[in-house]
Chain A
Amino acid sequence: MVSATKFDVIVIGGGHAGTEAALAAARSGASTLLVTQNIETLGQMSCNPAIGGIGKSHLVKEIDALGGVMALAADYAGIHFRVLNRRKGPAVRATRAQADRQLYRAYIRRTLENQPNLKIFQQSVDDLIVQDERVTGVVTDMGLRFAATSIVLTVGTFLGGIIHVGMDKRQGGRAGDAASNRLADRLRELPFSVGRLKTGTPPRIDGNTVDFSFLEEQPGDEPRPVMSYLSSNKDHPRQVSCFITHTNENTHDLIRAGLDRSPLYTGKIDGVGPRYCPSIEDKIVRFDDKSSHQIFIEPEGLDTVEIYPNGISTSLPFDVQQQFVRSIKGFEVAHITRPGYAIEYDFFEPRDLKNSLETRHLSGLYFAGQINGTTGYEEAAAQGLIAGINAARAARGDDAWCPRRNEAYMGVLVDDLITMGTTEPYRMFTSRAEYRLILRQDNADRRLTEQGRKLGLVDEVRWRRYCEKRDAISSHAQILNETYVHPGDTAIEAVLGQEISREYSLIELLKRPKVTVDSLIQAARLPFVNKEVNEQIEIDCKYEGYISRQQEEIDRIAAQQEMRIPDVIEYRSIRGLSNEVCEKLETVRPGTIGQAGRISGVTPVAVSLLLIYLKKQDFSAVGKKQGRSRSLKSA
């Protein structure tokens, strides 16, 4: 049976990538269908109940700046908020929220259900309809067929998913959900390059069986931060604390004794796991000399007693899990409600993607989320948004859009994936961003909301909020720049801790170390009350030297960076390029000169040779097209 309506976009999978993809496509005006295995699990957090963290909240705020749902859901469901790196400076500051799983799912589902242009359908997709290297629709397990111009695949850890607990292994997409095997088999027939990755999760524990009385309590931060630019902390539900406990030598001995039945250490698992998110058995084997590891005890929600012990992800046999858990302080009589497990799943070589996240092999097909080799809700959601908007744009015949490395962590994420590929589950870190001082969580709106508006992703409410903030920043900054203070101004001198010998503008004084904008505003009795606005002025001022240097660098290389390399280029015919360099370029098939230069092993000389070749081709073959190929400008 074929559905009568043809959609612009079909999104397969209702996880974090899928929901943002469906919402973005629909927001931008495309008629969209979200097909997912189970409507009850829309927005399900498979692993830890937390959104954000270093590098990750940067992504969340970018998604928010582009009108996405993740930050709003985290504010609605967040039961414990923290600011990380508070003392280390704004560029690396991050926000983390423990989320109530049920509230989070409810918010996501409600948003999806109320999104115009979006329809939801519960069914597993088993097959893609392919015609002449182009996808044209999907087939569900009941044999229903749906047609669409663009299709976004976001099926997470479900493709050929195998769950391991000790020597026991069974098929599954995550605990409680079936694996997608027919779809996985079908995708393996198509010309994609497939690999296996692995990740794991800790056992969950009944909080009523935990003795919290001797454990260190970790309350949320005050003042309490928010995720979304639109939220205030009045949107948050009741807040609760986390707790901290530790493993001990006894725990480690019990784990060591179980290693002979560990699927990781007996060769049962081939997939590569993330180095930064090791299982507890991994930590103990690799860091033999550490006698104790930290465990964060995180609440799973307000209406449940289950807790999530963050730090003991494991795939050891259940009896070993039980023993070692009970060796931990506070867990002496703990009851495990769900065993920890590891899961192996298929992912696709992300270097086969364009920066729109469209696959090179099948046009109209987009990949986002865990299937591209990433891990994490935020990474998945960010890709979902980019794939969703591009799927919609392609259906309308518009050019692809992807932020650049200097515009967004999203740009770093996509560029890293399509340029370097990955051999372990890829997670975002701030150290991956070369323009870290520009890409801050506090200014994602200033970096992206205008672009989002043009893309049709930002609604009226958000747009107005943004414009007010933007205008206030520039007008207040101007006032600070034009307000002069004079020697003898005791209020100002008290702020500075010293006398001033000539007149200064307030901005000049703000540049001094340790002088804050709030104290100056107070001393000068200016009526600036918007904390967000004041903060932006202060950061702009403190980082000015660095930002202008980075900006200069960006401008300098911009023209070259953006120069497009045609898909059909014959690297072997370029004079002077070594075989090794040719091979690398052929594997990655970079879309721009900038991307080519970032491939490891591609030297500046090779880039020069490439430039010269393109320049010549441009003239001889394409004639006047040069003006176009140079500008890969956003929408």
Chain B
Amino acid sequence: MSDQPPVFKDTIAARATPSGKGGIGVIRVSGDRVPIICRAITGSLPKPRFASYTSFLDADGSVIDKGLAIYFVEPASFTGEPVLELQGHGGPVVMAMLLDRCVQLGARIAAPGEFTERAFLNNKIDLSQAEAIADLIDSASSAAAKSAVRSMQGEFSGLVRALTEKLTSLRIYVEAAIDFPEEEIDFLADEKVEGMLDSILAEFDKVTRKATQGALLREGVSLVLAGRPNAGKSSLMNVLTGKDLSIVTEIAGTTRDVIDDYIHLDGLPLRLIDTAGLRTPGDVIEREGVRRAQNEIKNADRVLLIVDCFSTKGEIKHKVGELLGEVSSEIPVTVVLNKIDLNPDWQQELEDIPDNWIPVSAKTGEGIDQLREHLKQALGYVVVEEGTFLARARHLDALARARESVETGRQRLIIEKAGELLAEELKLSQQALGEITGIVTSDDLLGRIFSSFCIGK
């Protein structure tokens, strides 16, 4: 325990530039631990305000990336605190590793708008901007909430919730043993607690494994492919990913489940989600598919609306208009006009189309490069400071801290018989999980103790 840097040091770190735009990524770190972090990552403390070219080192001394490090001393920095900026060339994976390293060294991942907030509170920003900053924090946090929801979707959140529940049950035992020692229950003395600890640790491993699988890549902007059955969604997905993923058939409605995969456009991570289409559903399975599709669209950053311009020949624009009506107007759309290889007259019919209508052929590959280019342009602006990427990184960090606490607590109990230190570690663990799921207060806990055990004289 004591060899490690303390986790509660209030130094914050985050990516500072939108990913995907330009070749460089910046990690900004602010707070008291900056000098320590700087020495550990760059090997020295560079002269303040001078950019120095250096290697960024991992814990084992291996090089994560090379780039510029700029160190600012307080109060002459953006936030008024010691600040370190690391500018690397790497894509999101490398950035994630760097950020991870900062966290290992005692930083925590910044909350949305937190750098600006600190700058303001340290008198680095004009007071007249108070309202603007309030708005920024407000909107950044709702964007972050959306990202967090996205990161929390699916199995991961279910598992974390189950884990939190297990931890709470254990805490009920431990806290009851401490606050009600005269009742006829001494949980700490029996082996039940040890058993519960072991099973919680196993659960942690399971969740972490699930969450880490591709976690670094499974981030970024989510793109949903939507369109009528047989428009060519699966084919397009295969072309974009270079893999044979969905089942391509000639029977309408076969792509029934939601299938997703991850691609990179010059370092910009994209999550592609193929859906069962937007058709008025027929059978139960299809209805389920359509429901999921609508769900995916709600959380998407952009929808790729695929239109078959062979079967709609002569009335393409009309059909597109119809389809656009089925998609929520709040989410930006790119219209992909597929199967141009089957429609020799496409150029005439598609004259004067808007910039976000891209004619392609999933079969011949025509137009695919233009589509990629268009996406890069359109999506570069979506990725803000707090993307799903950061949300997930935060979640993983919280998960790791939570597990560490349970492990330490177990040792405290078994080796030192220190029930109160087990309790402390479990509290820390639950606090860490609370960063993902919301917090349990001591009163909730007491309430559960009273309803679980007959307590009181």
Contacts and interface: CB of A to CB of B under 8 A. Distances in A.
Given A430-B179, A431-B442, A552 B134 contact: no
A514 B121 contact: no
A208 interface: no
B141 A605 contact: yes
Most chain B CB within a 10 A radius of its CB, from A89, A287, A613: A89
A88 B127 contact: no
B450 A276 contact: yes
Interface stretch (A15-23, A121-129, A290-298): A290-298
A94 B1 CA distance: 28
A430 B174 CA distance: 12
A609 B137 contact: yes
Interface in B1-54: 1-2, 6-10
Nearest to B425: A546
Given A294-B183, A576-B137, A605-B138, A431 B416 contact: no
B421 to A, nearest CB: 7
Interface in A499-545: 513-514, 544-545
Given A54-B181, A429-B179, A431-B445, A545 B420 contact: no
- On chain A, which size bracket covers the interface? 35 or more
Given A84-B182, A87-B417, A276-B456, A431 B8 contact: no
Contacts of A431: 175, 178-179, 423, 442, 445-446
A612 B121 contact: yes
Interface of B: 1-2, 6-10, 111, 113, 117, 120-121, 127, 130-131, 133-135, 137-138, 141, 175, 177-184, 188, 415-421, 423-424, 427, 441-443, 445-447, 450, 454-457
B121 A615 contact: yes
Contacts of B7: 549
A600 interface: yes
Most chain B CB within a 10 A radius of its CB, from A296, A544, A546: A546
A548 B131 CA distance: 38
Most chain B CB within a 10 A radius of its CB, from A48, A544, A604, A612: A612
A114 B119 CA distance: 58
B8 A549 contact: yes
Contact of A605 (B137, B420, B421): B137
A391 B34 CA distance: 46
B178 A54 contact: yes
Contact of A556 (B10, B135, B454): B10
B123 to A, nearest CB: 9
Interface string A459-470: 000000000000
A88 B135 contact: no
Nearest to B184: A294
Contacts of A293: 454
Given A88-B177, A434-B442, A546-B424, 5 more contacts: A88-B188, A437-B424, A575-B135, A611-B121, A615-B121
A85 interface: yes
A619 to B, nearest CB: 6
Contacts of B181: 54, 84-85, 88
Nearest to B138: A576
Given A294-B184, A514-B416, A576-B137, A88 B456 contact: no
Given A278-B456, A431-B178, A549-B8, A92 B424 contact: no
A442 to B, nearest CB: 13
A576 to B, nearest CB: 4
B415 A513 contact: yes
A436 interface: yes
Most chain A CB within a 10 A radius of its CB, from B188, B443, B454: B454
B454 A608 contact: no
B8 A89 contact: no
Contacts, number: 141
Given A85-B178, A552-B9, A615-B121, A91 B420 contact: yes
Contact of A545 (B2, B175, B455): B2
A65 B453 CA distance: 35
B442 A615 contact: no
A564 to B, nearest CB: 15
A274 B457 CA distance: 11
Contacts of A600: 441
14 contacts: A54-B180, A85-B420, A89-B419, A276-B456, A278-B454, A287-B454, A294-B184, A296-B182, A429-B179, A436-B424, A514-B415, A548-B6, A613-B130, A619-B127
Contacts of A268: none
A627 B312 CA distance: 72
Interface in A63-92: 84-85, 87-92
Contacts of B2: 544-545
A48 B130 CA distance: 56
Contacts of B445: 431
A553 interface: yes
A92 B6 CA distance: 24
A612 B456 contact: no
Contacts of A574: 134
B178 A430 contact: yes
Contacts of A88: 177-178, 181, 188, 418-420
A85 B181 CA distance: 6
A545 B8 contact: no
Contact of B6 (A313, A430, A434, A552): A552
Contacts of A313: 457
A310 interface: yes
Nearest to B32: A556
Contacts of B419: 85, 87-89, 92
A429 B450 CA distance: 12
Contact of A609 (B138, B184, B418, B456): B138
A611 B127 CA distance: 12
A584 to B, nearest CB: 14
Given A430-B178, A437-B424, A612 B135 contact: no
A256 interface: no
B133 A612 contact: yes
A290 B454 contact: yes
Nearest to A557: B10
Contacts of A90: 420
A616 B127 contact: yes
Interface in A588-625: 600, 604-605, 608-609, 611-613, 615-616, 619-620
B426 to A, nearest CB: 11
Interface in A275-318: 275-278, 283, 286-287, 290, 293-296, 310-311, 313
Contacts of A620: 127
A472 to B, nearest CB: 26
Contact of B8 (A48, A295, A552, A613): A552
Contacts of A186: none
Contact of B111 (A85, A434, A604): A604
A23 to B, nearest CB: 29
B11 to A, nearest CB: 10
B421 A429 contact: no
A283 B7 CA distance: 43
A311 to B, nearest CB: 4
B198 to A, nearest CB: 20
Interface in A410-448: 420, 429-432, 434, 436-437
A311 B455 CA distance: 10
B420 A437 contact: yes
A445 to B, nearest CB: 20
Contacts of B111: 604
Nearest to A563: B121
Contacts of B184: 294
Contacts of A434: 427, 442
Nearest to A54: B179
B131 A556 contact: no
A43 interface: no
Given A54-B179, A54-B180, A612 B418 contact: no
Given A283-B454, A431-B442, A608 B117 contact: yes
Most chain A CB within a 10 A radius of its CB, from B10, B188, B421, B456: B456
Most chain B CB within a 10 A radius of its CB, from A84, A276, A294: A276
